[in-house]
Amino acid sequence: MKVFNTASLAFLSFGTALVAGVPLQDRSTVHLRARAASGAYGATYFMTNEPTGNFVISADVGSDGKLTLSRAVATNGLGSHGVSVPIGPDPLFAQGAVKASVAGGVLAVVNPGSNTISAFSINPNDPSALTMIGEPVSSEGEFPMSLAFNDAGNMLCALNGGAVNGVNCFSVDKQKGLVSMPNTLRSLGLNHTTPPSGPPGSTSHIIFNEAGNQLIASIKGIPPTPGFLAMWDIDSDGSLSENFTSVSPQPTGALPFSMTVIPGQDALLVTDPGVGFDIFDFNAQPDANGTAGGKSSAVPINGQSATCWSSFSNKTGNFYLTDVGTGIVTEVNVDSNLKGTIVKQYPQGNGTATIDNEVATVNDNDFLYVLAANATAIHVLSLPAPGQAQLIQTLDFAGPIKAAGLTINPDNVQGMTAFVQA
């Protein structure tokens, strides 16, 4: 539980005991503007990931897709940074640290420094307003760094990347919070530390496949040793197969990072900072070495530095990949034969450190929300048609957060998810 200094107390709501040195109650909220916006279409969320106390930062989504910073909500957990040289953005070496489910009306956040997960209900009439459900629960491992909801929003799975690594799943109860599900705690058996070293060799991302009958985790390699995807079958009762199937990328792929479903194809687009991106085709069985078969491929992005995050736009039918090193958003098309091609690139500025991203549909228009860590800003791009992305807003969040007496560090922020109702 976090103890706030007196400068922060004036910004807290949901009445707590305002006594110096007395820990404040859970569910503390810091308002980042004077009054709540009316008529918000949804909200976006990322986390501060501070080792002294983690907060979810929410911003209202307007009818034009633009953002208005709203609240900082305590997770009652701690952040952490993986071991890297030099220390920089992308502290968890991961995608999916913060996830929202529209179907479930819930938000979940990892607390890698306290090995817990926090869950919140989302107010559909004011989506930036979050109420913690239950208490933070153990991730049943160390250094939780990625989360995935099933389509119904009643099952949440977590990927742990520390010395105790693997996956574990929870049922989502709107009163009790997260309840660990039997027969879902599965080990990856990796020789990692807590916190882990990376980015090479670290775990990255967890998702459900499109059919919802498999849970998939990505693990980066340490060149020349390639990484792999770990795949568990999901039974009708939600339990996972005891062992995972390991699937490797094509030989030129090495560091599978984020995974985004290619709709209707039983395939994934997987970012790979070792080359650009990989396409995994699961319609064909892997070969004897576990390398993905069929139309799987590794596609280079010339000049890329570390292409690590991805999302998909239904409006354009294309994928959007972000590179923390170059600050470039790359738009990619994958055709019906699973051939991937680069459509266009959109520089967001040298040194912006574009990391996590998310596409959301507002008023039948798609928008890309990119966490630009070094710039301590969210870049909002409209996606009206293939090859026509336009930067329409750069939202600074450091100024208002610091003014509210909270800590914000460009090297610690992580995650990007959106809640927009159809």
Could you report the per-residue pLDDT of 215-257, keeping only the tens digit for each? 999 999 998 899 999 999 999 999 999 999 999 999 888 999 9
Q: Is 379 left (phi over 0), alpha (psi -120 to 50) or beta?
A: beta
Residue in this structure with the two tokens 């390639």, named with its chain if needed:
226
Query: What percentage of the chain reaches a pLDDT higher than 70?
Result: 92
Average pLDDT, the chain: 92
pLDDT at 24 over 50: no
pLDDT in tens, 317-337: 999 999 999 999 999 999 999
Q: What is the pLDDT of residue 36?
A: 55
Domains, in order of start, for the chain: 6-420 (2.130.10.10)
Q: Which residues contact 86 (CB under 8 A, 6 or more apart)?
A: none
Q: What is the pLDDT of residue 361?
A: 98
pLDDT at 9 over 80: no
Structure tokens at 247: 């699937």
Across-strand partners of 377?
Answer: 372, 396
pLDDT at 259 over 60: yes
Give the rounded distance of the alpha carbon of 219 from its chain centre: 15
pLDDT in tens, 93-145: 999 999 999 999 999 999 999 999 999 999 999 999 999 999 999 999 999 99
pLDDT in tens, 38-70: 678 999 999 999 999 999 999 999 999 999 999
pLDDT at 7 over 90: no
Across-strand partners of 100?
Answer: 107
Q: What is the pLDDT of residue 178?
A: 98
Q: What is the pLDDT of residue 34?
A: 60
Rounded CA separation 47/56 (Å): 4
> Which candidate, 213, 84, 216, places its Cα nearest to that of 159?
216
Rounded CA separation 144/421 (Å): 28
Structure tokens at 412: 């610690």
Which tops the pLDDT comparison, 422 or 382?
382
Confidence grade of residue 292 (pLDDT, cut at 50, 70, 90) = confident
Enter the pTM of the model.
0.93
Residue in this structure with the two tokens 């701690």, named with its chain if needed:
78
Q: What is the pLDDT of residue 15?
A: 29
Q: What is the pLDDT of residue 288?
A: 79
Mean pLDDT, residues 150-159: 98
Mean pLDDT, residues 19-31: 51
Confidence grade of residue 289 (pLDDT, cut at 50, 70, 90) = confident
pLDDT in tens, 369-397: 999 999 999 999 999 999 999 999 999 99
Across-strand partners of 61?
Answer: 42, 67
For the ranges 35-39, 146-150, 396-400, the lowest mean pLDDT is seen at 35-39
DSSP 402: H
H or E element at residue 8: helix 6-9
Q: What is the pLDDT of residue 35?
A: 57
Task: Determine the straight-line distance between the first and last CA of the chain, rounded to whole angstroms.
Answer: 36
Rounded CA separation 132/109 (Å): 11
